[in-house]
Amino acid sequence: MSNMTKLDLQAIQSELRSAGIDGWLLYDFRGTNPLARRVLGFDPQTMSTRRWFYFIPATGTPRKLVHRIESAALDHLPGERHVYLRWQELEEGVRWTLSDIKNGIAGLRIAMEYAPGVSNPYLSRVDAGTIEFVRSLGVEIVSSGDLVQQFEATWSAAQWQMHQQAAKWTAQAFEVAWQYISDRVRSSGNTTELDVQQQIIAFLHEKQMVFDHPPIVAVGAHSGDPHYEPTESSNLPIAEGDLVLIDLWAKLHQPNAVYSDLTQMGYVGTQVPEKYAQMFGILAAARDAGIRAVQDAFATNRAVCGWEIDDACRTVIEQAGYGEYFIHRTGHNIGTEDHGNGAHIDNMETHDQRRLLRGTCFSIEPGIYLPEYGMRSEVNVFIDEQGRVHVTGGTPQQAIRAVLA
């Protein structure tokens, strides 16, 4: 996926023909299109400062357009090369790049990192001016979203194995956290958000796992903020009677490792109050409705998009009267970055029309966020190459954990 070193040209061209697309025009300027760079196997440390284009036709030889100052920018890729210097030569170079396909340019149907309107900013990586110029040549531009998924976001067998190990250890990290809270409250009366966070970090480091941001430990009103991060100035005590949200994500410290990202809820007491139990029951039902929607689609070999799974989850929460308090998408793609570049489970922040593909993983994490407290339940879902749907990280939490029970 993202760290591939060799372009799978044959597979891309086969996918283009299956989709009825004449070619894929990949473009970047100063790293503004990381999706194209990953698909083409760029070293993440290599920075280019001039515009380049790489065109993969559905059949035939690719073409590359590079600036004279960085004429070797695409030398690791197959194809004919054209070098430009002036902006006028750049325009002529784009025409050359797309020419001689179907006896001309007009009428071509090509994919670019583009999404119509404001539908998907995660995918819209090509600037409007470049899109306008390519269209002025008589070209129809379609979204490369599913192509990016296929050649950047799908997992290898080794990555699936690494995710399963990561899921095992991230699930164990919750046990460490809940036990620590229990021990500290029983012995000292309380602990703090930062103390619990440090216990989780120490466990993950012990397992040689890494992460881009530290885990979330949120108590009381802090749990009503989906992106709360405990700091020295915001750090709250955790004591008996408190509701606690823990969200943690990590991956193995190995090349091409992929994340596990899970959230659990706990109550510091021997019995969870009914108002909390009822609300979590709604969340669990919403989460499980999303899982079933994925399972049903792949059991019947039906194409399904990210927005449809968001709807399946969101409907449960809306019907329970909490729709206005579910203020983020249902889930995100997972890869070598915690938020990956495949389909998100989203019909709220964006209308994600990318299909859920075999070999990809994503979170399902509905939440309800009131001013005084919030809840979230998060699991990861992986679809293997046979279309089997795997929920990772152990059995999904069915009830809030009574930490002192």
Residue by residue, what is the 3-state secondary structure of 9-45? HHHHHHHHHHHCCCEEEEEECCCCCHHHHHHCCCCCC
* pLDDT on residue 119: 87
Secondary structure (3-state) at 300: coil
Instruction: Give the domain ranges of the chain.
Output: 9-152, 155-402
pLDDT band at 5 (very low <50, low <70, confident <90, very high): very low
Residue 4: is its pLDDT beyond 60?
Answer: no
Residue 182: is its pLDDT beyond 60?
Answer: yes
The CATH class of the 155-402 domain is alpha beta
277: tokens are 């139990």
Q: What is 9-152's CATH number, 3.40.50.300, 3.40.350.10, 3.40.50.11610, 1.10.3720.10? A: 3.40.350.10
Alpha-carbon gap, residue 241 to 43, rounded angstroms: 51
Exposure on the CB side of residue 341, measured as CA atoms within 13 A: 27
* pLDDT on residue 101: 67
From the number of C-beta atoms within 10 Å of its C-beta (0-12, 13-18, 19+), residue 188 rates as: exposed
* pLDDT on residue 247: 98
Which residues face 140 on adjacent strands?
A: 109
155-402 shares the fold of 9-152: no
Q: What is the pTM (predicted TM-score) of this model?
A: 0.92
**Tens of pLDDT along 58-104?**
999 999 999 999 999 999 999 999 999 999 999 999 999 999 766 67
